[in-house]
Amino acid sequence: MTMKWSDLLGVDLIEANDRRNGNIYRYVPITELENKVVAIYFSAHGCERCRNFTSKLAACYKEVESELKDQFEIVFVSSDEDEKHFHEYFQSMPWKAIPYSDRDRKTKLYEKFKIEGIPKLVVLLVDGILLTPYGCDDIVSKGAEAIRS
């Protein structure tokens, strides 16, 4: 049975905006994830390992973004202590996120995927089935090829 992305990630995601009209983010309907492989990225600004990995992940994502835009997406789940750090950190990311205010969803995702440390990249197939809980290792060892495959 196919899982609905909204059951896992909520109804709306956010993505960084170009700050038109003073808006830092724009809301994106969860339906944009339909028929895509989704990587859920658990990270925090206050974690140096996370920041280092985020820059590597962003470079890989940008490398494959145009060729895989209809097939793959990353969704950031913030472990930041406060919304200020979330805003600073998320502005450097080219992908989507669950809104910082949805702390209940963050907690549920941590429990569902048994997240014990960050950074963590959990990759799910289009039907929501777990592909790998070791996405970070794959990115470090294979770079953008990990996303392509």
**Mind listing the pLDDT tens digit for each residue in 62-77?**
999 889 989 999 999 9
Predicted pLDDT at 2: 59
5-148, which class in CATH?
alpha beta
Confidence of residue 23 (pLDDT cuts 50, 70, 90): low
Q: What is the pTM of this model?
A: 0.93
Sketch the domain layout of the chain as residue ranges: 5-148
Cβ partners under 8 Å of residue 146, min gap 6: 60, 135, 138, 139
Residue 124 has pLDDT above 80, yes or no: yes
Q: Which pLDDT tens digit goes with each residue over 87-119?
A: 889 988 999 999 999 999 999 999 999 999 999
Confidence of residue 1 (pLDDT cuts 50, 70, 90): very low
Q: What is the distance between the alpha carbons of residues 118 and 125, in angstroms, rounded to a whole number?
A: 21
